[in-house]
Amino acid sequence: ASMSQQVESYAQLPGPPVMVYQDLDDPVVSATFGEVMCSVYKAFGAKGLITSGAGRDLEQVDKIGFPTFTSGAICAHGYCHTLAVNVPVTVGGICIYPGDLLHGDLNGVTTIPHEIASEIPEACDGLAAAEKIILDYVRGSNVTPAGLAEVRKECTAMFAKMTERLRRKGSK
């Protein structure tokens, strides 16, 4: 599919487009994206790009405010051939389907079930609060293995409670 055909396909999507590319080259030999592609996608409403391949012009892409997740950087210009649009692809070790809700950052990529999407902000706050218990403890002055075991137990209990709540919500 040409770039024009790709941006035309945005109208078929249930929400804002995120470009997701599976690079079929192994090892990666050239860039899956660069400044021009990202600028075009952004101009037509795309919110970001996720790829199993490498990118180039990363500083320029960052300056235009277009979030990307990539397996790395490469200077080699590529002539990408988009074989299909709106099909499942594998990126970051997961299979991504058209319409999936995605999160990608420096740590990786994941899908978020739509049923629990509204719970994510609260879950993130809960995760941060649970981890803060351990971080506050180990940054203190009187750190002991027994004390660490105690705060880890408290943190684990918070994780378990939050996980169970999300599982119940997701199974409804």
- The answer to whether domain 3-112 has CATH 3.50.30.40 is yes
Secondary structure of the chain in the HEC alphabet?
Answer: CCHHHHHHHHHHCCCCCCEEECCCCCCCCCEEECHHHHHHHHHCCCCCEEECCEECCHHHHHHCCCCEECCEECCCCCCCCCCCCCCCEEECCEEECCCCEEEEECCEEEEECHHHHHHHHHHHHHHHHHHHHHHHHHCCCCCCHHHHHHHHHHHHHHHHHHHHHHHHHHCC
Which pLDDT tens digit goes with each residue over 28-50?
899 999 999 999 999 999 999 99
pTM of the model: 0.76
pLDDT, one tens digit per residue, over 69-120 is 998 999 988 877 888 888 999 988 899 998 899 887 778 889 998 888 898 8
